[in-house]
Structure 1
Amino acid sequence: MKRIFGAKKDKEPPPSINDASDRINKRGENVDEKIKKLDAELARYKEQIKKTRPGPAQEAVKARAMRVLKQKRMYEGQRDMLYNQTFNLDQVAFAAEGLKDAQQTMSALKSANKELKGMMKTVKIQDIDSLQDEMMDLMDVSSEIQETLGRSYNVPDDIDEEELMGELDALEADMDTEADGVPTYLQPDKEPDVEAELDLPAPPSGHAAVPLRPTPQAEDELGLPAVPRASLRG
């Protein structure tokens, strides 16, 4: 049967936008190369026209230049057409990419919505409120426990604060402070004034006080103090 009717040929997949854009860009590059060659040829003819005198030779060069210029205009028109096609394909590709992004975004949103619905079934506002209330109760109990543990045992409950303030004022009144604010009992001890305590009379004016010198004692042959004779006779 295949030999009689032949087998169906597999259809080639249609070209993608990127493939078509690449093919058109290559054609545009070829056209650009041809235009560059024509520009170089026109520049050469321009120099020849300047160097030749008016006449048949110059007219022949101008005719060649006109032919090259027409070819250049034709290639420029083809290049503009190819550039327009590339631009249109780029716009279509951009729109297609935008649609793909929108599809992916929608799929992601649907998946997230499904997950959120499943999570919301397990989390209820009433449970959260009750949990918050339990946490507040536990915090209050913890504060009471801390206050109970920090209670002082030796401080009586019947202390009058006004009486304590009176004792504090009396203590401040008894503290004799100097100019520098240091109590007298904290200041260093001063040496006693012996002359003020003995209250000795002042020496007479005009006479200098002569210091008293001790009378030398007699010594015996050994250097010891000599004993008076009167004491030996007795």
Structure 2
Amino acid sequence: MKRVFGAKKNTEPPPSIQDASDRINKRGDSVEDKIKKLDVELCKYREQIKKTRPGPAQEAVKARAMRVLKQKKMYEGQRDMLYNQTFNLDQVSFAAEGLKDAQQTMTALKSANKELKGMMKTVKLQDIDNMQDEMMDLMDVSSEIQETLGRSYNIPDGLDEDDLMGELDALEADMGNETETDGMPSYLQPDKETDFDNELNFPSVPIGGTGAPSGRVQAEDEFGLPAVPRASLRG
């Protein structure tokens, strides 16, 4: 079959925008190098024209300089054309990148939209409102419980300024009736020291020494202690 119809040739993929831009930039750099070399030659011819006198020699140098200048202008035209092509490719590349970014953005938005729809199915606004109402009720009940537990017992209410002044006058009268010593009321004076020995009436300790009864002298050993009586030994 290959002999009849021939084998299918492997076609290369078309170059991308970046490949084409790189190739054109490479050509532009090559042309730019040629222009720089021609500039160097023109500078040399300029120095020669300044040094030579007007005449056939100077005219010959000018002719060579004119030829180099024409080549430079031609290369500059090619360089400008290549730069224009690069500019067009950059614009196309920028537009393509913008479309890719827009496509990715749309894909991300679609995915996020799908996720949000799934999440909204599990979260209902009515449930949130009901939960907030229940929380408010619980907070009110908690406040009432705290107020009830903090209630004071047997504290008279309805006291006014007249009651306060009457109480202060009564305290002042009571303090005036107390016996004062050194400018202090009796209830602020320190307690007097009490002689507990006289109150308890303990018997006094005898001063005289205690020892053996009078008329009997007890023997002592070599250490000054009462001697132990020895039992009599019978033979």
* TM-superposition CA deviations, 1:77-111 (whole Å, max 9, x none): 00000000101111111111111111111111111
Q: Deviations over 1:130-163 (max 9, x none)?
A: 111111111111111111221222425xx3223x
What does residue 169 of structure 1 align with? Answer: 165
AA at the equivalent of 1:167: D
Q: Which amino acid aligns with 1:17?
A: I
What letter is aligned with 1:24?
I
Cα distance, 1:166 vs. partner? Answer: 1.5
Unaligned 5+ runs, structure 2? 173-181, 184-235
Is 1:31 aligned to 2:27, yes or no? no
* 2: CA distance, partners of 1:131 / 1:27: 72
Larger displacement relative to structure 2 (7-16 or 19-28)? 7-16
Q: Tell me, in whole angstroms, the C-alpha distance in 1 between the residues paired with 2:55 and 2:62.
A: 11
Task: Provide the C-alpha distance between the structure 1 equivalents of 2:32 and 2:114, rounded to a whole number of angstroms.
Answer: 55
Q: Does 1:20 align with 2:20?
A: yes
Structure-2 change in CA distance of 1:44 and 1:174 (3 Å): farther
What whole-Å deviation, never above 9, does each CA across 1:188-232 have from its counterpart, x for those lacking one? Answer: x68xxxxxxxxxxxxxxxxxxxxxxxxxxxxxxxxxxxxxxxxxx
Aligned to 2:96: 96
Q: Residue 154 and residue 142 in structure 1: after superposition, are their counterparts in 2 closer, same or farther (change >3 A)?
A: same
- Asked if residue 7 in structure 1 is aligned to residue 3 in structure 2, the reply is no
Counterpart for residue 80 of structure 1: 80
Q: Which residue of 1 is the match for residue 54 of structure 2? A: 54
**1:43 alignment counterpart:** 43
Instruction: Name the structure 2 match of 1:68.
Output: 68
SS at match of 1:27: helix
- Partner secondary structure for residue 161 of structure 1: coil
Read off the aligned partner of 1:43 and give its amino acid letter. Answer: C
Distance 1:72 1:40 in 2: 11
Per the TM alignment, residue 171 of structure 1 is displaced from its structure 2 partner at its CA by: 5.4
Once the two structures are superposed, residues 54-75 of structure 1 have per-residue CA deviations (whole angstroms, 9 ceiling, x without a partner) of: 1111111111000000000000
Match of 1:160 among 141, 158, 161: 158
What letter corresponds to residue 160 of structure 1 in structure 2? G
- Structure 2 CA distance, aligned partners of 1:116 and 1:28? 52
Q: Distance in 1 between matches of 2:96 and 2:10?
A: 27
> Which residue of the partner structure matches residue 111 of structure 2?
111
Amino acid at match of 1:146: Q
**Aligned to 2:151, what secondary structure does the other structure show?**
coil
What CA distance in whole angstroms lies between the structure 1 residues aligned with 2:36 and 2:121? 71
Unaligned runs of 5+ in 1: 177-188, 191-234
The 1:24/1:172 distance shift into structure 2, 3 A limit, reads farther
Deviation at 1:118, TM superposition (A): 1.0
Q: Distance in 1 between matches of 2:60 and 2:170?
A: 133
* Residue number in structure 2 paired with 1:151: 151
> How many equivalent residue pairs?
174
| Pairwise CA distance, 1:28 | 0.5
Which amino acid in the other structure matches residue 28 of structure 1? G
Q: 1:170 to 1:2 in 2, by over 3 A?
A: same
